[in-house]
Structure 1
Amino acid sequence: MSFEIQRGLFGHDVTDHYAILGIPLGTDPKTVRKRFLQIAPRLHPDTCSAANAQGKAYAQQLMSRLVNPAYATLSNDAKRADYEAVLRTLHSRLPQQANKVAIQGALARELSQAANVQGAYLKALQTLTASQYDDLEQVLNRIAEISELNLVYLLKTTSGSASPARPAAAPPPPPPAQRPASTPTSGGETTGAREGAASNTQFVLRALRRAEELTAKGQFAMAMQELKDALKIDGNNADCHAWLGKVYLAQKQGTLAKVHLTRALAIDPRNAIALAAKQELDRATGGQTTGQATGQTAKTTKPQPKTIGGGKDKPGGGLFGGLFGRKK
């Protein structure tokens, strides 16, 4: 039996691992594992709902060809980071393809018209995943419906990361000064606002964790992207600015490092990450930015003749020198 799915993200040449496991985009690894352990018994030959050998064999195929690869990708830091980079790339292309997207599922069509995208997305997803693997004959159809939800969600969001923690864009978006104003409930605060604030916090925390792990592996470009995405959600997060400064410092981009470390300490003067990185920056530059330190060196060494092709590169190397100029 064919396992090919053409709807949702699958129709854009992306295997939707989140849809296969029936979890929201951007789900943390702990929840990924929890969901995997819920699915596994439903597809095991001894405990699945199949009544005959053919059905049990099909259940095993679902596990080996879909569920196991999805879990292997989303539970591994490096594979997950690469996969989410693919989703971000897809998301950047979706606005130009919006008129060509065909949606079959009723819940996905409802989501495309929803004002509170975040709440509607999670509610529709819960409806579809509750019995996703109960009827083995309907598993592929359920995955396709969930993937359509994911596709619509990405179309409706405003940023390039595949995470439901991102605020939804209700076109046309109101000016920033008007965004807090929404129709309140009797308690004075909209349910969507409370859900959005909580999910935004979760996204920032996940981004910080991923950035720290990527930095430890020397994957600075990906760490920077995680932190920049997080700052789009919370521009005044001291930890995000501190880590971004630290990443710039690791790439010998002292000027940019100083900008973010200064910002982090302005928000939280006791931020341990920023304080430690600032001390390292001061030691490296003598209390100046990289550009200033380089300029001072140029003044003191002015009498030396300038050679063509034989001189050493200046420290730092700029953005492209930092990202691509070093040996891996």
Structure 2
Amino acid sequence: MVNQSLAFKVNLGIGKYSSGDHYAVLGLPVHAEASQIRKRYFNIAKILHPDVYGKSPQESDRACTYLAKLVSPAYNTLMQERERVEYQALLKLIAKRLMKRGEGLEPQSDVARLLATAPNDLNYEKAVRSLAEMQYQSLDKALDYTGQLSELNLVYVLAQSGYKPFASPIIAVSSPTVGSSIKTSTSSTSDSSVLKTNSFQHSAYKPPTSSYRSSEPEVKASGNSQSSNSSQAKSQIHLAEQYIEQKQWAFALKELRAVLQLDPSSSKCHALLGLVYVKQNLNSMAKVSFQQALKLNPQEPLALQYLKQLNLAKDADAKAQKPQKGGFFGWLGGGS
């Protein structure tokens, strides 16, 4: 009889160094929030439900087994805050140990090798989403996709921990599909290879710089440093705007705070920060950010728009809470 835990074992990426990769099982990035985890779980449960998935009794049973033995345990772990925090610490520990050992990372899947050339948040999330869409459509390939997701997670976790040798290989890809073979070569010339893939055609190779790169050494010349900071700040503002469009508030907040480290006088950054706070119902913090934006640029349109809305909402609340005269001895039903 086959041991079910062994049958569902993933030996790639994080799964190679841990008993399992819960985020890969659910097809999620390792920084997914509780609401994303819950939504993704119910989507998978719908796919694997025997009444939806089952074309035969055997397939229905198999789908139920995947849900009970693989998906639900991952969900139950990540939905407990303490367990999720401990698991995040485990991922960082795995990255730290690999870096300490000086082990070279050579992902087996095309999509993970591709991410390794530009391991920023946007590319990582796109790659995870592309695999997650296919992950449980065929149970014959579910573990293969989960392994590739786990490799993506390992590449990302290592990059966030400061692992640098990702950029050295030049990877030549000829219109691959997920899971296909890949050819790699190392070149000492200045020749810039053109890399093409369905998932990353427009942004994988010249992406906005993500904030994890802020740990890299600064340019020595003051003029170049100032120009470099300005360019990086603009790229990260652009990335933050993309996150805002996708309603990824936590990621947008991370990028905007990194921008303020580079350029604290950016009125647009302060205004976008205020917008993110508004979307998270943190109106007091939003108001401070909008006011700061207007100090730097009195004509900052976003700050003018939303600060006016906040002030109108505050006036409306104050009016609604103001005791009204009349009635039998006022609101308390009695007088002094």
Q: Shift of the alpha carbon at 1:39?
A: 0.5
Q: Secondary structure at the residue paired with 1:111?
A: helix
Q: How many residues align?
A: 208
Give the aligned CA root-mean-square deviation in angstroms.
3.9
Q: Shift of the alpha carbon at 1:101?
A: 2.9
User: Is the CA contact (8 Å cut-off) linking 1:158 and 1:167 kept in structure 2?
Assistant: no
Which residue does the alignment assign to 1:135?
138
Q: Shift of the alpha carbon at 1:23?
A: 1.2
2:106 to 102, 109, 113: 102
Q: Does 1:5 align with 2:10?
A: yes
User: Is the CA contact (8 Å cut-off) linking 2:92 and 2:161 kept in structure 1?
Assistant: no
Q: Secondary structure at the residue paired with 1:60?
A: helix
Q: Shift of the alpha carbon at 1:76?
A: 1.1
Q: Secondary structure at the residue paired with 1:180?
A: helix
Which residue does the alignment assign to 1:117?
120
Gap regions ≥5 residues in structure 1: 161-165, 207-230, 237-266, 269-328
TM-score, normalised to structure 1, is 0.53
Q: Shift of the alpha carbon at 1:30?
A: 0.8
Residues 158 and 4 of structure 1: CA distance in aligned 2, closer, same or farther (over 3 Å): closer
Residues 131 and 27 of structure 1: CA distance in aligned 2, closer, same or farther (over 3 Å): same
1:153 to 130, 148, 156: 156
Query: Residues of 1 paired with 2:227 and 2:160: CA distance?
Result: 18
What pairs with 1:250-265 in structure 2 (closer than 5 Å)?
none
Residues 96 and 181 of structure 1: CA distance in aligned 2, closer, same or farther (over 3 Å): farther
Q: Does 1:202 align with 2:250?
A: yes
1:144-199 Cα deviation digits (max 9, x unpaired): 00110111111212469xxxxx8333895545866534379xxxx43x54325859
Q: Does 1:38 align with 2:43?
A: yes
Overall identity of the aligned pairs, in %: 29
Which residue does the alignment assign to 2:67?
63
Residues 171 and 183 of structure 1: CA distance in aligned 2, closer, same or farther (over 3 Å): closer
User: Is the CA contact (8 Å cut-off) linking 2:237 and 2:259 kept in structure 1?
Assistant: no
Q: Shift of the alpha carbon at 1:119?
A: 1.9
Q: Shift of the alpha carbon at 1:205?
A: 7.5
What pairs with 1:182-221 in structure 2 (closer than 5 Å)?
182=231, 189-190=234-235, 193-195=237-239, 202=250
User: Is the CA contact (8 Å cut-off) linking 2:95 and 2:158 kept in structure 1?
Assistant: yes
Q: Which runs of 4+ in 1 moved over 4 A?
A: 170-173, 175-179, 196-201, 203-206, 231-236
Q: Shift of the alpha carbon at 1:47?
A: 1.2
TM-score, normalised to structure 2, is 0.52
Query: Residues of 1 paired with 2:231 and 2:260: CA distance?
Result: 20
